[in-house]
A and B are shown apart, each in its own frame.
Chain A
Amino acid sequence: MKGLPEDLKTLLIAPQLARNWSAERWSRAAYLAQSGAVLSRVAVDLAALDQDPADQDAANQDAGDQDAGDQAPPGVPGLDACLLSAMRNGARSQMRLSWEMDRIKRVFWDRDLKIVLLKGAAYLAAGIPCTRGRLSSDIDIMVAKDELAGVEAALLDAGWVSAKEMQGEESGGYDDDYYRRWMHELPPLVNSERKTVVDVHHTILPPTGRVTADAAELLDQAVPVESEAHGLKGYFVLCDTDMFLHSVVHLFQDGEIRGGLRDLVDQTDMIRYFGARPGFWERLITRAGDLGLGRPLYYSLRYSSALLDGPVPASALQDAQRFAPPLAVRMLMDLLVPRALSPSYLFESDRGAGLAGELLYIRSHWLRMPPLMLTRHLAIKAWRRIGGEKTA
């Protein structure tokens, strides 16, 4: 299987080895990390290394430098500035996320409502290491389906507006209607002051898809946030297996995989973090089977361990085999997935990656809705694209 670009992988799993890189090598690698939305994380890791002399000694030895002790920090002019910028961006994203959750909490303070944090906010609340330098754009929360209308009304009342309306589409238009009928979330809501977007989910997969998940079951197993940090107490998060599976379905079932490197990095961190809990792997495999999410789990474990050295126990990989696709499909995915996940350098053309991305994009739609509906949906999108071109 083709791997990630070597230097990008190094930055992600052993950044201490990058200390002696040349400016040219750094320029390319930093670009790839930026494209993969992981530069802030890399910057945080490098800064942590600088502060921890024990790690530095280890780094020197790893780098084959016998002369530990008086090694120089990265000596590439201009690089530190780039890393500082990335680090500030990551810190800001995290602060914005906790602030936004604080504001949303205020809207519902007097209601007895189970709000489950998803993705970035959940990782923050659960203290998963992947929150370091993690850039979040949208805020994702989940509530029971019968709470949906009330939650939407309350947010609209408190200063959020429909994103589509903001762009000029009247409610009841095709997109709005599509979301409400066929999606697992409300049409995105934007805070009119801060321009932040919140996606309110009622389950984790579109009900039209080949695979759906039992939302009631997920909500039932959700656990309250215990940590006081980031002001997220009062919210819920999915339980460990479900939190992991949600990231997995987002990348391998519902999403288009292209540009999803950051999600696989999240999953690898969760593998490391949750994987240390006793019985996690058995529970994970069982839960995936029960919820019908075995196939995407198989992909996640396979590509995390192959591309990012995710520490998946051999026994878990073995157990997940029962979710494996037919051999031909697996071979095709092995060909496409690493290419679609790998950012490519602007000045090195990579046609394979483009094609792989397109094919997986089509796959994501195929998994999302029945063929007839897909045809109609893509036709409307295409028609609109042509129309848009004319008016531009």
Chain B
Amino acid sequence: MTRDLNRGRLKFKVGPLVARIGTSYPLLQRDFLDIYRGYPLAGPEEFVHFNLKVDPVSLLRRWIRPKIIADGGFIASPFVPLRGDLAILALEMGLNWQVGTRSDQFLIFHSGVVAKDPAPGEDGPSRAVLMAGESGAGKSTLTAGLAYSGWRLFSDEFGLLDTSDLHLYPYPRPISLKNESIEVMTKRLGEDVFSRPFLNTLKGTIRYLRAPSESLINGHKPARLDLIIFPQYVEGSTGGISEFTGAEAFAMLRGASVNCDRVGRSAFDALSALTGRCKVYGLQYGSMDMAIGMVEALMEDAA
């Protein structure tokens, strides 16, 4: 695998998307193989959607005060160099940027997504809940909590909606947790499922939580979108739910979508259909267990 990374030949799958990655930087190779362990590799028969190279900006900067930059082959590159020890962040941002700007086959929501699969032996669709809202509202943390409590992880970053059937596609990437969230989640899940800490990033300390292996095994299976929530962590909250309907729900969903204007008409139609079909809630919570219980109950209710 290290050799494939070196030669830019490592192709791996994230849900319906295939990425080809190259890096010659040993520290990044180690971090990458650590947080992406267990990801399905793509064979030669699969189309590659995204290409990314992440390497030192120059030979000098490989060794002295290392600086690393992602390269997706754009003429005007949107990427900035990062400190060598944060190279994995450059890779993660590079990949997210490409997915967010070039996957207009989906209507993309800036959101966390998890789904409930039918119990073994039972029929029925997988059912997804989409969690949108401002950065810092606690989406990632709640997604992480649910993903390790019997739900299948779709994404902590992007909800990929097929506008033709209103199903979401998985995009199970490692979950990036920041600052206080790290402590909350390491207490819950132990150290083993986490990457090493990345200190002094622009957003403080970051640790990546690996995607649960079941979500990787079933990473190709879409789920019907049944529930939409806008979660908000409020310290000491005893829990609160408010429902949004009609134009308000539409506007909130529109605000959460990344590429509504690029997808065009089909995006508008999908948003209208969604607000007609799904319940949309604002959800205030004071602890992880409380939030998980509330989401479980709302999903029961949405059936």
Contact = CB atoms under 8 A, between A and B. Distances in A.
A26 B47 contact: yes
A347 interface: yes
B20 interface: yes
B22 interface: yes
B48 A85 contact: no
A180 interface: no
Given A84-B105, A89-B104, A347 B45 contact: no
Nearest to B8: A347
- By DSSP majority rule, is chain B's interface helix, strand, loop, or mixed? loop
B18 interface: yes
Contacts of B47: 23, 26-27, 30, 76-79, 82
B261 interface: yes
- Could you say which of B16, B20, B45, B104 has the most chain A C-beta atoms within 10 Å of its C-beta? B104
Interface stretch (B68-76, B178-186, B205-213, B243-251): B68-76
B8 to A, nearest CB: 4
B261 A92 contact: yes
Contact of A81 (B7, B16, B20, B51): B16
A387 B17 CA distance: 40
A315 to B, nearest CB: 36
B263 interface: yes
Interface in A332-360: 343, 345-347
A285 B280 CA distance: 64
B53 A346 contact: yes
Given A78-B16, A82-B105, A88-B105, A27 B262 contact: no
Nearest to A37: B75
Interface in A181-223: none
Contact of A23 (B8, B9, B45, B52): B45
A369 interface: no
Interface in A27-57: 27, 30-31, 34-35
B264 A78 contact: no
Contact of A85 (B18, B46, B51, B103): B103
A346 B264 contact: no
Interface in B1-31: 7-9, 16-18, 20, 22
Contact of A78 (B7, B49, B73): B49
Interface string A79-117: 111101110110110011000000000000000000000
A22 B104 contact: no
A24 interface: yes
A15 interface: no
B265 to A, nearest CB: 9
Contact of A84 (B16, B22, B48, B104): B104
Interface string A247-265: 0000000000011000000
Contacts of A22: 44-45
B277 interface: no
A138 B44 CA distance: 38
B37 interface: no
B102 interface: yes
Interface residues on B, range: 20 to 34
- By DSSP majority rule, is chain A's interface helix, strand, loop, or mixed? helix
A259 B75 contact: yes
Contacts of A31: 48, 51, 73
Nearest to A74: B47
Contact of B18 (A34, A78, A91, A259): A78
Contacts of A26: 47
A262 B297 CA distance: 54
Contacts of A91: 264
Given A81-B105, A85-B103, A85-B104, A23 B261 contact: no
Interface in B155-188: none
Given A78-B18, A346-B71, A347-B8, A88 B48 contact: no
Contacts of B17: 78
Contacts of B8: 346-347
A140 to B, nearest CB: 18
Interface in B281-303: none
- Could you say which of A31, A76, A79, A345 has the most chain B C-beta atoms within 10 Å of its C-beta? A31
Contacts of B46: 23, 77-78
A88 B53 contact: no
B51 A88 contact: no
A76 B84 CA distance: 37
Contacts of B53: 346-347
Nearest to A88: B104
A79 B266 CA distance: 20
Given A88-B262, A89-B262, A82 B73 contact: no
A219 B9 CA distance: 54
A24 B44 contact: yes
B51 A346 contact: yes
A161 B46 CA distance: 46
21 contacts: A23-B46, A23-B48, A27-B48, A30-B47, A31-B48, A35-B74, A78-B46, A81-B49, A81-B105, A82-B105, A85-B104, A88-B262, A92-B261, A92-B264, A345-B73, A346-B73, A347-B8, A347-B9, A347-B22, A347-B53, A392-B80
Interface of B: 7-9, 16-18, 20, 22, 44-49, 51-53, 71-75, 80, 102-105, 261-264, 266
Listed from nearest, the 7 A-B pairs whose CB atoms lie closest are A78-B47, A27-B48, A347-B8, A85-B104, A81-B105, A84-B105, A346-B73
